[in-house]
Amino acid sequence: MSDSNTKESLEKISNGSPKPTSPNADLKLDFASFWEYSPAPESSEHVKIDDRYNHFINGEFVEPVKGRYMKSVNPATEEIICEFAEGTSEDVDKAVKAARKAYEKTWSKLTGKERGKYIFRIARMIQERARELAIIESIDGGKPIRESRDVDVPLAAAHFFYYAGWADKLNYAFPGRKPKSLGVCGQIIPWNFPLLMLAWKIAPALATGNTVVLKPAESTPVTALKFAEICRDAGLPAGVVNIVTGAGATGSEIVNHPDVNKIAFTGSTKVGKIIQKSIAGTGKKLTLELGGKGPNIVFEDAPIDQAVEGIVNAIFFNQGHVCCAGSRLLVQEGVAEKLVQKLKDRMETLIVGDPLDKNTDIGAINSKAQFERIQSYLEIGVNEGAEMYQCSSKIPENGYFCKPTLFTNVSQSNRIVQEEIFGPVLTIQTFRTPEEAIEKANNTPYGLASGVWTDKGSKIFKTGQSIRSGVMWSNTYNKFDPTSPFGGYKESGIGREGGLHGLYPYLTF
Amino acid sequence: MADRIEVLKTYKTYVGGKFPRSESDRTYQIKDGKGKHIANACRCSRKDVRDAVVTARSAFGGWSSRSAYNRGQVLYRIAEMLEGRKDQFLRELQLAGIKEKDAKHEVHTAIDRVIYFAGWTDKISQVFGTVNPVASAHFNFSSPDATGVVGIIAPEEYPLLSAISMIAPVIAGGNSCILLASETNPLPVVSFGEVLHASDVPAGVVNILTGYRSETAETISSHKDVNALFSSISDNKFRKLIDENASINVKRTEHYTPDDWYSDDHENPYLVLKFMETKTTWHPVGF
Amino acid sequence: MSVLTIPDFNQTTPIDQIGVEERVSRLNKRSIKKESKLQALKLALSMIDHTTLEGKDSEGKVIQLCSKARLPYAPMPNLPHVAAVCVYPNMVATAKKALQGTGVKVASVATAFPSGMAQLHIKLDDTRYAVSEGADEIDMVISRGEFLKGNYTFIFDEIAAIKEACGEAHLKVILETGELETLENVRKASDIAMHAGADFIKTSTGKISPAATQPVTLVMLEAIRDFYRDTGSMVGMKPAGGIRKAKEALQYLVLVKETLGSAWLTPEWFRFGASSLTNDLLMQIVKQETGVYQSINYFSND
């Protein structure tokens, strides 16, 4: 019918040589003209967020010593949600003292079995308050309710449930060794998965018999303070968990406090390095979960439609605010054109908007600063000569929203290929042979996660062995489970969280 | 008949399976306990460190992807060669003023230690790997994988035993390494390079440098192509320097300062694990 | 002129079952509320192939079925009628007469439905008979035994022959996915059917469990999409069997919307093969219009 297959239309889709387009490549699928979904907002009536939150130290909510407060903003509306305490050295010192006292007086005296029962209680109470926590997570951080409801909160509860069971079984985890707890753990978590990262930190720390001073990120403190309520309601002994809020300066006070035995940090590689440097020579134990630039490799024998879905999960999950995001797509040349076409079709059906709408796929960028950072990378990409594609979906006028974005015509030397953007921005490169794919995949200082898509089992294993990353998702991406260790090679971090391996950093032998 | 004039040995370094001199052409004197000259050793420079890292990096891929069984055999071969040449090491240790009995103890323990770690190569993933029962329809397993290039900073005491005790777990896990040998008595360690050369250890997997730590430690600890540091220097200022430099590229650091290098405590798989990453693989389970 | 090349059906398109199921589960999370819900319920009603395929079917039963088809709910005469009724060949004339002038199509199963275990000439006769009785659409079954033996040419040729026998009538090809078992087989059978001339591809006869499932439907929709990209031709989709609830119907519509887009959201390109679904859709429509939860006692069970 059309002459498109005879006309010599060439489309440049990659950094490779121009390839002929397939016939009918100009056919459009129309996803928008009929049957639009009506708004389906999650009701937040039963959720109460106070105007002001204080630190949780020694089992009580206490005002900051210096009396200073910061503000948390709803990134979808740019409205202020609440005030929270800005922690200073005095507050951190109080919290560490409380944690030390609790460690010595109560927590380390308890049997593993009793410790475990407290942690089980916490897991159950998270489940009971799941909907409330999910809504708050979406309001405070901008992530779609579908994710906070189905991923963040259930996984957080599961994490406590999993580690609760370890508390009285530690002697089985380390053949030939009798493990001992460390003492007071300082934990600093990021804003991308506030409650889940809290669970990843606190659950293993408590199970192994340590006490905790945790600082949530300054743009997403609320669920951590709700968690403090849960600790209180669960009857957890005072001082076992202490939550001190604030920004980087508060975190630095925790890192540098002399009576902290261990630091666990999740965040940027830049800050991770600063922390590693500041505790140099102190003998404090350290785990770091840092940045990434995950390669997601699609071979031509891959299940293509599922790969497309995997690519979407890899880079657009949580607005791309994921350290293990599959932000570098590497596609074998034979399927590149078809794959990109399918990906673009799929992107047309992504709904960007109100985080509290149950149909939203991509919510708000977490903060103004991050929004501006992503925008600057889009500019860098375009200035570097990359071809930018954004889906045509509408985005709200207010709030920090970014359309899902693809960059083609890029190479390893582009900044958008090398640097972690931490947003819904995917770069697409092509390759010809498995060796080339592996070489490109490993050509980065990071090594957190990677993906491989092929129908051939032996190729999965060979690729998996060759790529230097802590997590290898084959024919899937961005899957998490409390039993599954997570953590990076190279500059993506030190140590593992999750699973039996996640106990190790909280013990000494 | 006059006594025969002994042929003295020239001690060099061991890098990339060869025995080069320091690129700086500098040497320093090694003396015995009474201050008598024994030999000259190479006084390696930062450029020697740089070259050693390059060769360790290029050896890493091949070594780490060898079968665990093969790595075990290679390690065992090291022990065999050591056993065959132990007289040489006894002599070298005694030259430095160590009593014969102590020298024997040191050499024997070192040989046994290599055998201990040789046996771990094909067991470490079995004992420390896991199949993880995830809640979704996926098969999920974790296994240890070599960290990469490891910088080893050996202590002054028990030069041969400490060096071998540090090298063995590192290479058992599939890493390649650069060892900064004891400053005061690196001679048996350099000779150990000859053992490595004669056994089946691929060139570049173990590299041995001599000289002053004050000239080499800074370079190796800050080098961005080194993934981990294994140091036995207890001095706190030194430790801090190592840690600070490690943060440049998020190196794993292990400060290991045992009271007793002879203790069986040293023989444990956790030392191997210090220089291994955990890699977790997911795959769907379905038709 | 577009050149239609027939693919090598011995090649298998890889499909990951878990990935398909995850995609379906994500699509099922779409929340269809308010106007979009009412619109979808009415749309689904208009897409139904209201079906009776029983050994005890009689003219009387078929006439009752047809009256339900043309006017699903008398108190709301403005609701759409269903797309078609689906009957055995010997009931086609009765249905045709009962639906004269209503716009409701008559579909007939043919080709030794449901097993398909007969010789080709018998299947062709069966088809021609149904068409001659006035069937607008023919729902044929493929020979699953031959398919599972790897005799793809047989399947292709049989479909092509039936298509020819259909003349003007539209051909729906039933893959009987419950017997093909794997999604890769479903994909392959879909491709064969479309290349052999199917106007619609259909999941099931309704006589085998499992009948229609959403993962199977998604795979078929993706095959249709790829066929459209490759040839420029649209092919319709009909999940059949086991879809009883309005909520499921909406989930299917979401699958269609987000896989193929708006163009397929019409009775011309998408059908539900069902019987009890009609009343559940009606109950939900009335609930949406009145705000009151409904009872099946108020809805005719024809």
Side-chain half-sphere exposure of B112, counting CA atoms within 13 A: 12
Residue A393's pLDDT is what? 85
Mean pLDDT for chain B overall:
96
The tens digit of pLDDT for each residue in B255-265 reads 999 999 999 99
- Structurally, at CATH architecture level, domain A292-474 sits in 3-Layer(aba) Sandwich (3.40)
Residue B33's pLDDT is what? 82
Q: Would you call C262 and A359 a contact, using CB atoms and an 8 Å cutoff?
A: no
CATH code: domain of residue B49: 3.40.605.10
Which helix or strand (DSSP H or E) is residue A240 part of?
Answer: none
Residue A24's pLDDT is what? 58
Minimum distance, in Å, between the CA of residue B286 and any CA atom of chain C: 6
Residue A25's pLDDT is what? 57
Q: Is A51 on the interface with C (CB under 8 A)?
A: no
A289 is catalytic: yes
Residue A6's pLDDT is what? 35
Residue A4's pLDDT is what? 41
pLDDT score of A5 more than 80: no
Residue C12 resides in a domain: no
Residue B20 resides in a domain: no
Q: Give mean pLDDT, residues C62-80.
A: 96
Q: Domain spans of chain A?
A: 52-290, 292-474
Mean pLDDT for chain A overall:
94
Q: pLDDT band for A1, please (50, 70, 90 cuts).
A: very low
A485-494 burial, b if ≥16 CB within 10 A, otherwise e?
Answer: bbbbbbbbbb
Subunits in contact with chain A (3 or more CB pairs closer than 8 Å): B, C
Residue C158 resides in a domain: yes
Cβ(C87)–Cβ(C69) below 8 Å: no
Residue corresponding to tokens 């160590």 = B98
The tens digit of pLDDT for each residue in A451-496 reads 999 999 999 999 999 999 999 999 999 999 999 999 999 999 999 9
Q: What percent of chain B has pLDDT over 90?
A: 94
Interface test with B, best of C15, C17, C24 (most B CBs within 10 A): C17
Q: Is A172 on the interface with B (CB under 8 A)?
A: no
Mean pLDDT for chain C overall:
96
A109 exposure class (CB count in 10 Å sphere: 0-12, 13-18, 19+):
exposed
Residue B5 resides in a domain: no
Residue B19 resides in a domain: no
Q: Is B67 on the interface with A (CB under 8 A)?
A: no
Q: Is B250 on the interface with C (CB under 8 A)?
A: no
Q: Would you call B287 and C182 a contact, using CB atoms and an 8 Å cutoff?
A: yes
Minimum distance, in Å, between the CA of residue A23 and any CA atom of chain C: 6
pLDDT score of A28 more than 90: no
Q: Give mean pLDDT, residues A39-52.
A: 94
Give the whole-angstrom CA distance, residue A179 versus residue B177. 29
Q: Is B286 on the interface with C (CB under 8 A)?
A: yes
Q: Is A24 on the interface with C (CB under 8 A)?
A: yes
Q: What percent of chain C has pLDDT over 90?
A: 97
Give the whole-angstrom CA distance, residue A445 versus residue C189. 46
Minimum distance, in Å, between the CA of residue A151 and any CA atom of chain B: 12
Report the residue from C18, C182, C183 with minimal CB separation from B137: C18
C96, C202, C280, C302: the active-site residue: C202
Strand order in the sheet with A405-408: A387-390, A405-408, A425-431, A328-332, A295-298, A449-453, A471-474, B276-284, B138-146, B130-131
Q: Give mean pLDDT, residues C121-143.
A: 98
Q: Is B8 on the interface with C (CB under 8 A)?
A: no
The tens digit of pLDDT for each residue in C256-276 reads 999 999 999 999 999 999 989
Minimum distance, in Å, between the CA of residue C90 and any CA atom of chain A: 38
**Phi, psi for residue B79 in degrees, rounded to 5:** -60, -40
Question: Could you please report the per-residue DSSP string of A173-209?
Answer: TSTT---EE-SEEEEE--SSSHHHHHHHHHHHHHHTT
Residue A10's pLDDT is what? 35
pLDDT score of A12 more than 50: no
Chain B contacts in chain C segment 12-31 (CB below 8 A): 16-19, 21
Where would I find the beta strands (DSSP E) of A47-123?
Answer: 52-53, 55-57, 60-62, 69-74, 79-85
A289, A420, A491, A497: the active-site residue: A289
CATH code: domain of residue C279: 3.20.20.70
Residue B7 resides in a domain: no
The tens digit of pLDDT for each residue in B206-222 reads 999 999 999 999 999 99
The tens digit of pLDDT for each residue in C11-58 reads 999 999 999 999 999 999 999 999 999 999 999 999 999 999 999 999
Give the whole-angstrom CA distance, residue A326 versus residue A332. 16
Minimum distance, in Å, between the CA of residue A82 and any CA atom of chain B: 36
pLDDT score of C138 more than 80: yes
pLDDT score of A33 more than 90: no
**Beta bridge partners of residue A474, listed in sequence order:** A452
**Domain A52-290 in CATH: superfamily?**
Aldehyde Dehydrogenase; Chain A, domain 1 (3.40.605.10)
The tens digit of pLDDT for each residue in A322-333 reads 999 999 999 999
The torsion of the CA quartet C254, C255, C261, C262, rounded to 10 degrees, works out to: -40
Minimum distance, in Å, between the CA of residue B66 and any CA atom of chain A: 12
Residue B132 resides in a domain: yes
Global pTM value: 0.95
C139, C191, C280, C302: the active-site residue: C139
Report the residue from A274, A472, A499 with minimal CB separation from B281: A472
Q: Would you call B282 and A472 a contact, using CB atoms and an 8 Å cutoff?
A: yes
Tally the domains of chain B.
1
Residue B1 resides in a domain: no
Report the residue from C18, C181, C183 with minimal CB separation from B284: C18
pLDDT score of B49 more than 80: yes
Work out the number of other CB atoms within 10 angstroms of the CB of residue C81. Answer: 19
Q: Give mean pLDDT, residues C159-165.
A: 98
Q: How far is CA A194 from CA A75, A80, A127, A185, A207, in A?
A: 15, 18, 16, 18, 20
Residue C4's pLDDT is what? 62
The tens digit of pLDDT for each residue in A254-306 reads 999 999 999 999 999 999 999 999 999 999 999 999 999 999 999 999 999 99
The tens digit of pLDDT for each residue in C231-258 reads 999 999 999 999 999 999 999 999 999 9
Residue A248's pLDDT is what? 97
Q: Which two tokens stand for residue C111?
A: 């080709």
Q: Give mean pLDDT, residues A330-357.
A: 97
Residue B136's pLDDT is what? 97
Residue C133 resides in a domain: yes
Domains A52-290 and A292-474 share a fold: no
Question: Could you please report the per-residue DSSP string of A414-449?
Answer: SHHHHS---SSEEEEEEESSHHHHHHHHH-SS--SE
Helices B159-172, B86-95: crossing angle, 10 deg rounding? 130
pLDDT score of A364 more than 50: yes
Q: Is C183 on the interface with B (CB under 8 A)?
A: yes
Residue corresponding to tokens 């379906």 = C24
The tens digit of pLDDT for each residue in C170-212 reads 999 999 999 999 999 999 999 999 999 999 999 999 999 999 9
* Residue closest to A130 by CA, chosen among A122, A142, A141: A122
Interface test with C, best of A6, A306, A392 (most C CBs within 10 A): A306
Chain B contacts in chain A segment 250-289 (CB below 8 A): 269, 272-274, 276-277, 279-281, 283, 288
Tally the domains of chain C.
1
A398 exposure class (CB count in 10 Å sphere: 0-12, 13-18, 19+):
exposed
Residue B1's pLDDT is what? 52
Subunits in contact with chain C (3 or more CB pairs closer than 8 Å): A, B
Residues of B in contact with A499 (CB under 8 A): 130, 132, 142, 280
The residue in chain A having the minimum alpha-carbon distance to the alpha carbon of residue B255 is: A283
pLDDT score of B134 more than 90: yes
Q: Would you call C261 and A31 a contact, using CB atoms and an 8 Å cutoff?
A: yes
Domain limits for position B139: 27-284
Q: What percent of chain A has pLDDT over 90?
A: 93
Residue A7's pLDDT is what? 33
Q: Give mean pLDDT, residues A413-431.
A: 97
Residue C295 resides in a domain: no
A82, A185, A323, A391: the active-site residue: A323
Residue B6's pLDDT is what? 85
Give the whole-angstrom CA distance, residue A354 versus residue A142. 8
Q: Is A280 on the interface with C (CB under 8 A)?
A: no
